[in-house]
């Protein structure tokens, strides 16, 4: 079994980007910029946004974060997005989800200029992805495809079984991997919570992608010998021995499944760090395109 070290690959990608940013800054005096907007007090969202900001700064990007109060009105958020659509110093706009209930999330996502949609959540980006055109790909699925690529894991003709159908992971990763392209061209099955017999599907997977948000759902009896296992789950489970009283585990029973898998991503340190690396990659692409570099 080989461990897929997402932390290491993410670091490589961020270093590659830093070199490109340094070179471009010396030549043109310009650097990529990312603005993140967060509304409310969700602690997990604050941690994620803090990590994104740190990664941006380390790679030499311009980074700004707006922390808006929970009671921010939809119109105020729309006005801020509009301001950054016009601001030439910022090439990517990220509005951290979820938003408070009184704000219509899709209205905000629609308001982001597709040219700055580095999350790849705008329906324009989603549509282009589905029809196989180049666009911004959502960062977590993009990170999964990049990991498979960098570990030389063949996808052409392989049966990929995705467990989970979220707009952020399941649906986009299934779409990306079925395209008739390099590092894709797979036969893809998408399963979800309504599947009557999940095991029947997962046992057929050459590559299993678990993104359903249920701790240790995927057990060793559910996978084929030699399968590649990608675990996107981030689940808190109680742990009396941990300082905080909990630990983070994936959707896969790592201890048992890793005995049968040919490759597997750990949690933490697998897919997670790739999300931020690909966000920087998308922001750099937006910068290059916008500045004609």
The residues binding ligand GUN (CB under 6 A) are 94-97, 119, 139, 168, 275
Catalytic residue of the set 5, 116, 117, 119: 119
What angle in degrees, to the nearest 10, is found between the helix axes of 6-28 and 139-150? Answer: 100
Report the nearest approach of ligand GUN to the CB of residue 105 (Å). 10
CB 101 within 8 A of CB 63: no
Report the nearest approach of ligand GUN to the CB of residue 37 (Å). 9
Decide whether 162 or 168 has the Cβ nearer to ligand GUN: 168
CB 248 within 8 A of CB 238: no
Decide whether 249 or 274 has the Cβ nearer to ligand GUN: 274
Decide whether 94 or 208 has the Cβ nearer to ligand GUN: 94
Report the nearest approach of ligand GUN to the CB of residue 225 (Å). 33
CB 233 within 8 A of CB 212: yes
Report the nearest approach of ligand GUN to the CB of residue 125 (Å). 13
Q: Is 52 one of the catalytic residues? A: yes
Which residues are CB-contacts of 21 (< 8 A; sequence separation ≥ 6)?
A: 31, 32, 59, 60, 61, 284
If you compute the radius of gyration of the chain from its CA atoms, what whole number of angstroms results?
19
Report the nearest approach of ligand GUN to the CB of residue 169 (Å). 9
Decide whether 63 or 202 has the Cβ nearer to ligand GUN: 63
CB 161 within 8 A of CB 192: no
**Position with the least CB separation from ligand GUN:** 97
Q: Is 96 one of the catalytic residues? A: yes
Question: Residue 207 carries which DSSP code?
Answer: E
Report the nearest approach of ligand GUN to the CB of residue 234 (Å). 9
Beta bridge partners of 62: 33
Decide whether 39 or 229 has the Cβ nearer to ligand GUN: 39
Decide whether 137 or 201 has the Cβ nearer to ligand GUN: 137
Beta strand extents in the chain (DSSP E only): 2-3, 33-39, 62-68, 92-95, 159-163, 187-191, 207-210, 228-231, 235-238, 246-249, 263-264
> Tokens for 106?
């899709």
CA separation for the pair 260, 224 (Å, rounded): 7
CB 156 within 8 A of CB 72: no
Beta strand extents in 96-184 (DSSP E only): 159-163
- 3-class secondary structure, 72: coil
Q: Which residues are catalytic?
A: 52, 96, 119
């Amino acid at each position: 079994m080989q461990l897929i070290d997402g932390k290491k690959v993410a670091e490589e990608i961020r270093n590659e980007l830093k070199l490109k940013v340094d070179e471009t800054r010396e030549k043109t005096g310009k650097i990529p910029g990312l603005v993140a907007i967060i509304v409310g007090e969700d602690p997990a969202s604050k941690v994620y946004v803090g990590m994104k900001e740190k990664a941006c700064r380390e790679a030499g990007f311009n980074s700004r974060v707006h922390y808006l109060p929970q009671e921010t009105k939809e119109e105020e958020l729309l006005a801020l997005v509009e301001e950054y659509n016009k601001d030439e110093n910022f090439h990517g706009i990220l509005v951290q989800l979820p938003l408070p209930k009184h704000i219509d999330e899709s209205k905000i996502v629609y308001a982001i200029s597709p040219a700055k949609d580095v999350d790849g959540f705008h329906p324009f980006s989603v549509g282009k992805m589905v029809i196989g055109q180049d666009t911004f790909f959502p960062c977590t699925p993009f990170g999964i495809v990049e990991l498979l690529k960098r570990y030389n894991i063949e996808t052409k003709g392989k049966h990929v079984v995705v467990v989970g159908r979220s707009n952020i992971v399941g649906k986009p990763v299934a779409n990306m991997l079925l395209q008739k392209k390099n590092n894709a061209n797979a036969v893809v099955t998408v399963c979800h919570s309504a599947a009557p017999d999940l095991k029947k599907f997962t046992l057929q997977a050459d590559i299993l992608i678990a993104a359903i948000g249920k701790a240790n759902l995927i057990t060793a009896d559910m996978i084929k010998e030699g399968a590649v296992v990608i675990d996107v789950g981030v689940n808190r489970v109680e742990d009396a021995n941990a300082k905080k009283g909990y630990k983070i585990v994936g959707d896969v029973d790592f201890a048992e499944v890793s005995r049968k898998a040919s490759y597997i991503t750990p949690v933490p340190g697998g897919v997670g760090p790739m999300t931020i690396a690909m966000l920087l990659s998308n922001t750099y692409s937006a910068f290059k395109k916008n500045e004609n570099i």
